[in-house]
Structure 1
Amino acid sequence: MTAVSSPVRVRFAPSPTGLLHIGGARTALFNWLYARHTGGKLILRIEDTDAARNTPEAVAIIFEGLKWLGLNWDEGPSPANDGTSIGDHGPYFQSQRGAIYKKYVDRLLAEGKAYEHEGAVKFRTPKTPITVPDAICGDVTFDRTMDPDLVIQRKDGSPVFHLVNVVDDLEMKITHVIRGEDHLSNTPKHLALFEAFGATPPTYAHIPLILNTNGSKMSKRDEGASIGEYIENGYLPEAVRNFLCLLGWSPKENREVVPIEEVVEKFDLPQVNRSNARFDINKLYWITGEYMRAATLDRLAELAVPALKKQGVIGDDYDAAYLRSALAIVQEKVKLGKELGDWLSYFFKEDFAYDPAAVAKVFTPEGLENLKTLRAALAGAETFTAAALEESFKTLAAAQGKKIGAYIHPIRLAVSGRSVGPSLYHLLEVLGKDRTLARADRALAQFPG
């Protein structure tokens, strides 16, 4: 664990403007990781001073995204968005902290460090160079000699981002500010305000930007930019969280699937990469597949039930044991929750359609004759397990002097409407004898040859 001189207090301070961007989610994650690694606290602060852009719905989206990713906070606003706080401090909605900000503005005015200008209030920006010590970027020098004085309060009396950011970090005793590198240029202004208040600034750590594969900065409109997309498409949150960890950090062992407990143990600010991170949707898709294959049936069912209900595959009266059996045999094929409906629909629907191309290829006169022969053999089967079914298929094929595929392809199409799917013998075992025979009869009736 990292040695620190005082209890670590970090914060995630999103502005609720309609979505939780993947960059914001990664910032929240890195703050959460550092807090958990050091035994510190993560404060959630909603920067909602822009009344024209911020909505309760947008705040709810932030809560939903953080909770979906498993990023619990220690202090900050309650999910009810009622101004109460979780912890001993708060509330942490900036829109409710106007009196605090006014007190600090008045103090700067009284000390001659700020002045009124055309109805607004400006801070006297120091006109000297400054070096920002950054835990990730190293020392970065800024030339402030030509910087204009900084507006800290607008004509309408509302405080500006730079002021409220510093005041809240000071009031909330933030020890480390971990945020995107696009805020690095704001840091000289913030350090100047800390100095004006006679306060020791937090340690700053600016994490690299997230770029598209073509090297452009990832915007809100790009594919994969919103956490809501991953929720909607049925990604496993633990897989998305793993992927986000790798956007600027790595375990240094050429590994990409890393348990979150191990990341917490190893994560530290000096290990965060200085170079920008490349967003690779294909890597995320692969990681999600790895998590899907490793998931327990309980975890898969937890993901599958709401997805399948939403897609109309199952209702409230679904057979839980049957669903788990079906999930077990398609698990290696599925990567996203949205794919579950396609892989599992025929397990629960008897009126499924048949793939026309497969029908033309498989339900030939010979293929249908082979289906009839197999159907008769299956009707006499005493044991309907995958192992017993495989043996009976082999016995039938040998007796008829045919390849086993002559029977596999027609029955697969008959019971699923498709030419591909999970292991056939396990598929038939899950469907059961009665359902398998009924589906064979349906196909033979619909395609009499």
Structure 2
Amino acid sequence: MSHVRVRFAPSPTGFFHIGSARTALFNWLYARHTGGTFVLRIEDTDKARNTEEALRVLIDGMRWLGLDWDEGPEVGGDYGPYFQSERQPVYDEYLQKLKDAGRTYEKDGAIWFKLEGERYTTYDDFKKAEVEKVKTEPVVIEDAVRGRVERREEMDFVIVRRDGSPVFHFVNVVDDIAMGITHVIRGEDHLSNTSKHVELFKAFGVEPPVFAHIPLILKESGPGKMSKRDKGALIEDYESRGFLAAAVRNYICLLGWNPKDDREKMDIGEIIELFDFPGINKGNSRFDEKKLSALNAEYLREMNIESFTFLARPILAAAGVVSEEESEDYLQAVLGLCQPKVKGLDDLPEFVGYFFKDEYPMDEKTGERIAKKADPKALLAEVVPVLEGVESFDADGLHVALETHAEAQGQKVFAYFPALRYAVSGQGGGPDLLPMLAVMGRDRVLGRIRRFIEAS
């Protein structure tokens, strides 16, 4: 096994944001690409927000995306505990190391980290006061994505608050050291923290890990980073809407990474093989739900009908479209027609409802458009005896019978199709008409046409 150890260290807040999912995914991909170890570490020191329910949302979301972890909650490992709330003895030990090295002092009830360098006092316009600064050497970060970055920390900073709780910068570095983390892959918004972290690594006498700061995900429209309040931001929403986890995962891969060719739809095995830091973009990525939906539709079209039906049945049942007694053969036949057309599983109830319910909405604009060209009831009255007499009620048999009738009337067969579709579905579009009629069956089709003709 590789020596590579990466970690995803979220704070469970009750949401699994697409940006967090992308960070988890990139760490997971790098671990799988290198044969390394993927660690899940939970930053749960905010007792008011970090509930068991919030943790469950996070873990369920990761499992849904297929992001299994090698160490962490529900798995264990040699570097636990994997909850920050259980690691206070570790933090106490490392804090004592800094104290013994003369790198801390107390002020205003908090414990501060003391930078090394010549100290001087200057007036700070931002603070509107005299402040003490330190002439430090610049911190050079050879970032695996951003390239060479130089930053300078000029002021000491708090590592333990007045209430005794350790600050993010301190516990983050301590945990990375104690858990042997070799690569830190995280959002670009953390780059501003990295000089503080490097100063802490140096104070502990530890070589910093390799840093890789990945680009931000921008909201779908307008400026700014995508937040949990933006449309399409929450992973749990995609699961509830019937998106395929493989499609969502594939799309998230492409938010900030590409395989250096034009491919978008890729098997996860391919992505693992190709994923590496040179493929990560420096520029920010803009979220696009239309692209995600299109990718999801591609995945849906490629599923075998048994799997597609397995996913579709509970969604249709929840919407009241099908009952538990609905024939599996009829359901599969209907879904086989709709699978190439439908964009997402959440569209299915509206898309296929008329196959199962004799009461269905009639699209008025479609009806008006058809009536402008010809009287639909007159056209349908012509085809009723044709449909009654067709020997084989399948797509081929229907086509031959309807075409023979149309030629006898001096018409094109397609002249009858809009009225036929409208009468049996209430819609102006949908699956191919003749296979649709064949699946519905002679009795259902004729019953609907007669009701349409008889309606005032």
TM-score (norm 1): 0.91
CA distance in structure 1 between the aligned counterparts of 2:143 and 2:325, rounded to whole angstroms: 57
CA distance in structure 1 between the aligned counterparts of 2:385 and 2:181, rounded to whole angstroms: 74
**Aligned AA (2:282):** R
CA distance in structure 2 between the aligned counterparts of 1:155 and 1:209, rounded to whole angstroms: 33
DSSP 3-state at the match of 1:116: strand
1:88 positional shift: 4.6
1:348 positional shift: 1.5
Q: For structure 1, which runs of at least 5 residues remain unmatched after alignment?
A: 79-84
Partner of 2:321: 313
Is 2:176 the counterpart of 1:169? yes
Partner of 1:64: 60
**Aligned AA (1:64):** D
Partner of 2:399: 390
1:153 positional shift: 1.4
Contact 1:215 1:278 in 2 (8 A): no
Is 2:339 the counterpart of 1:331? yes
1:192 positional shift: 1.8
Identity %: 50
1:274 positional shift: 1.4
| Equivalent residue for 2:93, pick from 87, 103, 109 | 103
- Deviation per CA, 1:322-350: give whole Å up to 9, x if none: 22221221122211222111111111212
| Equivalent residue for 2:264, pick from 253, 256, 264 | 256
Partner of 2:431: 422
Partner of 1:26: 22
Contact 1:14 1:47 in 2 (8 A): yes
Contact 1:77 1:90 in 2 (8 A): no
1:205 positional shift: 0.7
DSSP 3-state at the match of 1:318: coil
Is 2:214 the counterpart of 1:207? yes
- Deviation per CA, 1:133-156: give whole Å up to 9, x if none: 211111211122x22x22111121
- Deviation per CA, 1:268-317: give whole Å up to 9, x if none: 11221112222223322322232232232234224322322232222333
CA distance in structure 1 between the aligned counterparts of 2:115 and 2:350, rounded to whole angstroms: 61
CA distance in structure 1 between the aligned counterparts of 2:354 and 2:340, rounded to whole angstroms: 17
TM-score (norm 2): 0.89
Partner of 1:53: 49
Partner of 1:159: 166
Partner of 1:187: 194
| Equivalent residue for 2:39, pick from 35, 43, 46 | 43
CA distance in structure 2 between the aligned counterparts of 1:90 and 1:271, rounded to whole angstroms: 32
- Summarize the Cα distance change of 1:96–1:298 in structure 2 as closer, same or farther, 3 Å threshold: farther
Contact 1:16 1:54 in 2 (8 A): yes
| Equivalent residue for 2:103, pick from 102, 105, 113 | 113
- Deviation per CA, 1:383-419: give whole Å up to 9, x if none: 1221221222111211222222332122211221112
1:121-136 alignment to 2 at 5 Å? 121-126=111-116, 127-136=136-145
CA distance in structure 1 between the aligned counterparts of 2:232 and 2:421, rounded to whole angstroms: 36
Partner of 1:352: 360
CA distance in structure 1 between the aligned counterparts of 2:348 and 2:104, rounded to whole angstroms: 60
Q: For structure 2, which runs of at least 5 residues remain unmatched after alignment?
A: 117-135
- Summarize the Cα distance change of 1:309–1:375 in structure 2 as closer, same or farther, 3 Å threshold: same
1:208-247 alignment to 2 at 5 Å? 208-212=215-219, 213-247=221-255
CA distance in structure 1 between the aligned counterparts of 2:305 and 2:177, rounded to whole angstroms: 47
**Aligned AA (1:354):** M
Partner of 1:438: 447
- Summarize the Cα distance change of 1:389–1:90 in structure 2 as closer, same or farther, 3 Å threshold: farther
1:67-82 alignment to 2 at 5 Å? 67-78=63-74
DSSP 3-state at the match of 2:429: coil
| Equivalent residue for 1:280, pick from 261, 283, 288 | 288
CA distance in structure 1 between the aligned counterparts of 2:269 and 2:17, rounded to whole angstroms: 24
CA distance in structure 1 between the aligned counterparts of 2:195 and 2:54, rounded to whole angstroms: 30
More displaced stretch, 134-143 vs 378-387? 378-387
Q: Aligned pairs, how many?
A: 435
Aligned Cα root-mean-square deviation (Å): 2.1
DSSP 3-state at the match of 1:152: strand
Is 2:150 the counterpart of 1:150? no
Contact 1:367 1:406 in 2 (8 A): no
**Aligned AA (2:352):** L
CA distance in structure 1 between the aligned counterparts of 2:421 and 2:92, rounded to whole angstroms: 72
**Aligned AA (2:98):** L
- Summarize the Cα distance change of 1:302–1:112 in structure 2 as closer, same or farther, 3 Å threshold: farther
DSSP 3-state at the match of 1:252: coil
CA distance in structure 2 between the aligned counterparts of 1:136 and 1:55, rounded to whole angstroms: 34
Partner of 1:412: 421
CA distance in structure 2 between the aligned counterparts of 1:268 and 1:8, rounded to whole angstroms: 13
Contact 2:143 2:212 in 1 (8 A): yes
CA distance in structure 2 between the aligned counterparts of 1:308 and 1:64, rounded to whole angstroms: 23
1:103 positional shift: 2.1
